[in-house]
Amino acid sequence: MSLTLWNSRFSVTLVRQQATMFMSSSTKTIAANSLHYTFNNNFQPQQHQIQNQQQRRYSTTIMKPINTALPDKGARRTSQSGNRNPGKTLPQGRNSLESSTSDSGINVPPFNHPHCDRQAMYQQPVRKVKPLRGNYDYDLVVIGGGSGGLSCAKEAVAHGARVACLDFVKPTPIGTKWGVGGTCVNVGCIPKKLMHQASLLGEAVHEAAAYGWNVDDKIKPDWNKLVSSVQNHIKSVNWVTRVDLRDKKVEYINGLGSFVDPHTLSAKLKSGDRTITAQTFVIAVGGRPRYPNIPGAVEYGITSDDLFSLDREPGKTLVVGAGYIGLECAGFLKGLGYEPTVMVRSIVLRGFDQQMANLVAASMEERGIPFLRKTVPLSVEKQSDGRLLVKYENTETGEIDSDVFDTVLWAIGRKGLVEDLNLHNAGVLTHKDKIQVDCEETTNVPHIYAVGDIIYGKPELTPVAVLAGRLLARRLYADSDLRMDYADVATTVFTPLEYACVGLSEEDAVKTYGAEEIEVFHGYYKPTEFFIPQKSVRYCYVKAVAQRSGEQRVYGLHYLGPVAGEVIQGFAAALKSGLTIPTLMNTVGIHPTTAEEFTRLSITKRSGLDPTPASCCS
């Protein structure tokens, strides 16, 4: 038991992003008492003079000057990160402070995912908050016990703030609930990666025979044992997290919080309601899976919130949705011996590079996972034998068909958990069930912040939430000027053949700079470990999206193959540091690895040459 808990401390240690994410400062400064960045009711940036007032302990916002001019190296990076092609004018809003307008008519902040306007961001003063000890119950209350909220709470306590963290999980329609730690630990990244690993191990066992191992053909997975092992690990992480909060003096409150007024929360506890006041709030409630509005969806379907603790084998499973969650679940279910089918409404992996997305889908189809394309579900009915009859329609032909499944898994997107917060009582504006923030994670109410998946238009990734929360706490309580840089965030889709990327997709690069200003270097490759078991190498592929002329700055890197996340993490740091194609080509690769394929890129799409390698060592 002690060894398990010791290991759990490492399992909850989140990834430290070592990329250079912030610009260095130099000589020029701007007067801190001249500008105050805020939002009006339409969420447009405003500048106003700060009233001269006595600086006392109970003042709300104190400005601090920051340096905006950069030395030569930093200035070069600014021009490449903000407008990476100085000769090309970026679309309006990407390199200016003008806000854009959504379809609903609401103005949204100018700092849009995936590429934040870094130059504009760093020209704005950082707000500072002084703790109001004695006036409120807490200096900071974090609403949400997930990765972003916990990192913010623990960092704030480390710098002297009095902090409470509220956390509450509403059960799913079939009754699934979990402990502290949020989506990632309980029903997201961690259990997903463990089941993905279980799937890969099953595949490796069969490959072992080709390498000379005597393998019993009767080897098969045990779903209940797998679920039990995964849940035992998760519960140990929950326990370690609670202990860590106690040791760090963060008060953990297992209650559902909602605003009474801008500085007051009402928390619903098992023992009754509790009123809590704070000077500052951070909203980090994250999101939950959506259900379609069709008959039987809620009654008979499940989501990823339920899958990792499902008390029966999933069997023949219909996965509705072709985002990364749907594809990952379908992938490990297939690897564990079940029969998943993926239903695709429009495109696969929306928001990702579409050439890579289609390669991912093709590699899954090659493994025997069928895709129902241009199809939407109409209804789910439970039959007398307990199985589920699903009726669905092809949106192109209008043809209606049906099939019977053991499990229907909804993976059609996620919604932000704003409904229970009563944000209108605090004056906080929302947009499409998310909260809009500026470049400091501030809402339109100056003392209320938001981090993680709940904020509008930013990457919904655990490491993003963790770093954003930590940096926010440092700005509030540790005299820091560092802001979160949401640009060029690396990510991985853990499908059977993994896909990882960082930076711009090919489509976004062309849209931003124009097709004539983009050069795409690409190539297929053959992983050495695939040779003996004769695994398919048909879809092992890498590409670099780069500036065509000048220094050939790399805008995006894309990799499809084994251990994709491990491969792309180091390249992410290089890309954020100004990686160029000449630097990449002059880097000596580690042989034989798949990561070295990036250093071997020499063929461009524009050339029309065959990107398939003839040999592995020359």
Ramachandran assignment for 376, one of left (phi > 0), alpha (psi -120 to 50 degrees), beta (any other): beta
The yes-or-no verdict on residue 118 having pLDDT over 60 is no
Residue 501 CA to residue 360 CA, distance in Å, equals 13
Task: Pick 315 or 126 by higher pLDDT.
Answer: 315
Taking residues 482-489, report their average pLDDT. 97
User: Is 113 tagged catalytic?
Assistant: no
- pLDDT attached to residue 119: 55
Ramachandran assignment for 562, one of left (phi > 0), alpha (psi -120 to 50 degrees), beta (any other): beta
Confidence of residue 428 (pLDDT cuts 50, 70, 90): very high
Taking residues 461-490, report their average pLDDT. 97
Confidence of residue 34 (pLDDT cuts 50, 70, 90): very low
Residue 220 CA to residue 199 CA, distance in Å, equals 11
Residue 350 CA to residue 354 CA, distance in Å, equals 8
pLDDT-wise least confident of 15-24, 110-119, 443-452, 556-565: 15-24
- pLDDT attached to residue 104: 39
Confidence of residue 131 (pLDDT cuts 50, 70, 90): low
Q: How far is CA 259 from the centre of its chain?
A: 27
Residue 88 CA to residue 337 CA, distance in Å, equals 51
Residue 4: what are its φ and ψ, rounded to 5°?
-60, -45
Q: Which of 48, 206, 424, 591 is catalytic?
A: 591
Taking residues 334-346, report their average pLDDT. 97
pTM: 0.80
The yes-or-no verdict on residue 121 having pLDDT over 80 is no
Residue with tokens 């379809």: 103
Q: Beta 45-46 vs 62-64: how paired, if at all?
A: unpaired
DSSP assignment of 316-362: EEEEE--SHHHHHHHHHHHHTT-EEEEEESS-SSTTS-HHHHHHHHH
Residue 594: what are its φ and ψ, rounded to 5°?
-85, -25
Q: Quick: pLDDT tens for 40-69.
A: 333 333 333 333 333 333 333 333 333 333
- pLDDT attached to residue 128: 61
Task: Pick 456 or 97 by higher pLDDT.
Answer: 456
pLDDT-wise least confident of 60-74, 172-186, 256-270: 60-74
Confidence of residue 130 (pLDDT cuts 50, 70, 90): low
Q: How many CA atoms lie within 13 A of 316 on its CB side?
A: 10
Domains, the chain: 2-123 (no CATH), 138-289+417-477 (3.50.50.60), 297-412 (3.50.50.60), 497-604 (3.30.390.30)
Confidence of residue 7 (pLDDT cuts 50, 70, 90): very low
The yes-or-no verdict on residue 133 having pLDDT over 90 is no
Taking residues 109-138, report their average pLDDT. 58
pLDDT-wise least confident of 211-215, 446-450, 497-501: 211-215
The continuous run of DSSP H or E covering 225 comes out as helix 223-247
Closest CA to 111 of 100, 124, 123, 126: 100
Q: Quick: pLDDT tens for 554-589.
A: 999 999 999 999 999 999 999 999 999 999 999 999
What average pLDDT does the structure give for the chain? 84
Residue type for position 258: S
